[in-house]
Structure 1
Amino acid sequence: MNCKPVIVVHGGAWAIPDCLAESSTDGVKSAAQQGFLVLKHGGSSLQAVESAVRILEDNPAFDAGHGAVLNADGKVELDAIIMDGRNLSVGSVSCIKNIANPITFARSVLEKTPHAMLTGEGANAFAEKMSIPTVPTKELVTEHAIKEWEQYQKYNQSVTTLFNTEKAHDTVGAVAMDSEGNVACATSTGGITNKMVGRTGDSPIIGSGGYADNFVGAVSTTGHGESIMKVTLARHVLFNIERGKSPKDAADQALDYMYNRVHGRGGLIVVSKTGEWSASFTTKRMAWAGIDGGVLSYGLNPGEHFQVSLDNIR
């Protein structure tokens, strides 16, 4: 099989403030290009989504890895998932600490354990056994995250009341299809500021934060985790595609269902088994970028869709 490689990434669906608009857009464009280079040079979709998400985890503009937010105790707890559409293999981690690239750790769970998900202290113990690099918490937390956490503490605000404001960050993710027609997804997050200790959102949950199946496509979601879990958003999108919907219609209908059923907002990226893709969201903004056919598409605001040629990529 010789398919046209496709990759799509997102930097989280939330009310991205103007001061982060440019860095968010530049960040997703850079991640998409990195992932596409993997595909262009014959790499797998699994390698491509991991590579793209690592770029986002290393960028403090995003709530994942080096941009993670603080929980109610002022600590960092990270979640991630990666899934291979060839055989439905999946690796997931939740509530892990001091790991700069949770997505790479999640891939280790996929490839080196018989399990699908590891959490908490057991996960960190396995990371140490696998020689996964760790970093001090202070290297993962930005000044902005600290000030945001202090604001929550001062006014005793909940994660729900501030979710769709400029004080809430969110998830990053990627989906891809390689030249062999294999799809994959990856999602990583630092959670929601001031969340309860031990809270796990949708990101590492199979079928909610992400799902990949060569027979249908791949999805990575972002938004209010509790709402996403209630409707298993990622699998819901693929169910719509199985019923004959286009990726865009499948995404839009799933997001509308989530809002109407549980009043949740969010966003997602999806690529179908035929290489069609979409980026959709119901929050104020979502930074996204996609590459197929040598063209990079990207956007931030509702209805926004810019394109630029990538002939100069080597």
Structure 2
Amino acid sequence: MSAVLVVHGGAWAIPDELAKASVEGVKSAAREGSSVLKGGGNALDAVEAAVRVMEDNTVFNAGHGATLNIDGEVELDAFIMDGRTLASGAVSSVKNITNPVSLARAVMEKTSHVMLTDRGANLFAESIGISTVPTETLVSEYERKEWELHKNYITGVKEDFGLKRAHDTVGAVAVDCAGNVACATSTGGIRNKMVGRVGDSPIIGCGGYADNLSGAVSCTGHGESILKVTLARLILSHMDQGKSAAEASELSLQNMADRVQGAGGAVVVSPSGQWAATFTTERMAWAAVEQDVLWFGLDPNVKQKEKFHQ
């Protein structure tokens, strides 16, 4: 079978000044992840590689460029899951790690736990030789200015999430040539969040889930809403009942809107290679590589394509 990789750069009201960079960013991430697959790598390697590209790109809210909490600090969350074994790893509230998705994978592969948080995650990173950086090096000039403008949390949430607006998480899903699926997510969370706040991104079944029997999902949007409906697992439950990736995503996002008035998006891939990128926010930057075609989009119901080149 043909390998497929799909990435998102966050579902929210992406302003025009960030639109081009957001689309180029997800295209670069999709190329990197797909190159891993085409080079014989597995789905887990591919989603990690794709997310690392977005963590290194200051246009996205993950790693470099992450949003700041109410005290003006970076607190990062990440998650990764292997659909073949259901092995998973997550970190939350880490402050000085450039690529938290790789730390999450280390938690999965080198510990008997699923999630490490805050100081414990940093101690673990130190113990396995993952280097840290001064936290201020993760803060972009754009984010510092935005944080200064929106110091009040309630005001910030209303502006970001009102009228189908949400905030941006990055993520990737993939299926490799062997039919194995994987997912990964990474985020800086909501701007001006309380210190220690953890959203959906590192929580299994909420911000992401991967199972070779169903498919893989990475979610983005209002974390508290996603947590309440366990969005990733909800999407896969619809797929288990025979719905397509697109139908399952649309039904689940509508359920979240109806039940908790939450907006967001998701990228999904099935073990057979069927995929979807769906959102209920104003925009979501996404890209997918299927065979030799790179698909990408930003606005609702607009899908563009070009020839994939590594």
> What range is the shorter-chain TM-score in?
over 0.9
Letter in 1 for 2:61: D
What is the DSSP-based 3-state SS (H/G/I as helix, E as strand, rest coil) of the residue aligned with 2:305?
strand
Q: Any conservation in 2 of the 1:45–1:182 contact (CA below 8 Å)?
A: yes
- Of 259, 266, 287, 2:285 maps to 287
Which of these residues, 161, 175, 195, is aligned with residue 164 of structure 1?
161
Match runs of 1:204-215 below 5 Å = 204-215=202-213
Q: Which amino acid is 2:56 matched to?
A: D
- In the other structure, the counterpart of 1:178 is 176
Partner of 1:235: 233
Among 193, 214, 217, the alignment partner of 2:215 is 217
Q: 1:84 maps to which residue?
A: 82
- 1:10 pairs with 2:8: yes
1:104 corresponds to 2:97: no
Structure 1 runs (4+) deviating above 6 angstroms are 165-168
Residue 169 of structure 1 and its aligned partner are, at CA, apart by 4.0
Q: How does 1:1-314 map to 2 (within 5 A)?
A: 3-153=1-151, 157-164=154-161, 169-310=167-308, 312-313=309-310
Q: How many residues align?
A: 309
- Structure 2 distance, partners of 1:95, 1:43, is 30
Change (3 A) 1:168 1:232: closer
TM-score, scaled to structure 1:
0.96
Deviation (angstroms), 1:159: 4.2
Contact 1:11 1:171 in 2 (8 A): yes
AA aligned opposite 1:244:
G
Ranges in structure 1 where 5+ consecutive residues have no aligned partner? none
Distance 2:227 2:247 in 1: 20
CA contact (8 A) 2:166 2:281 kept: no
* Residue identity matched to 2:75: E
Percent identity of equivalent pairs? 59
Task: Find the residue that maps to 1:297 and give its secondary structure.
Answer: strand
How many Å separate the matches in 1 of 2:296 and 2:193?
Answer: 31
Give SS of 1:133's match: coil
CA drift of 1:151 comes to: 1.4
Displacement after TM superposition at 1:202 (Å): 0.2
The Cα of 1:25 is off from its aligned counterpart by 0.2
d(CA) in 2 for partners of 1:302 and 1:242? 26
Provide, for residues 100-134 of structure 1, a one-character-per-residue CA deviation record: whole Å limited to 9, x for no partner. Answer: 00000000000000000111111111111111121
Tell me, in whole angstroms, the C-alpha distance in 2 between the residues paired with 1:209 and 1:264.
Answer: 14
1:168: Cα distance to partner?
6.4
Shift of 1:158: 3.8
Q: What does the per-residue CA deviation read over 1:258-283, in whole Å, with 9 as the maximum and x for residues that have no partner?
A: 00000000000000111100000000
Distance 1:90 1:37 in 2: 23
What is the CA deviation profile of residues 165-205 of structure 1, one whole-angstrom value per residue up to 9, with x for unaligned ones? 79964100000001111000000001111000000000000
How much has 1:149 moved relative to structure 2? Answer: 1.3
* AA matched with 2:157: T
Contact 2:173 2:183 in 1 (8 A): yes
Q: Distance in 1 between matches of 2:107 and 2:7?
A: 22
Please list every run of 5 or more consecutive structure 2 residues that lacks an aligned counterpart in the other structure: none
Q: 1:46 to 1:220 in 2, by over 3 A?
A: same
CA contact (8 A) 1:92 1:117 kept: yes
Deviation at 1:227, TM superposition (A): 0.1
Relative to structure 1, is the Cα distance of residues 165 and 147 closer, same or farther in structure 2, using a 3 angstrom cutoff?
farther
Structure-2-length-normalised TM-score: 0.97
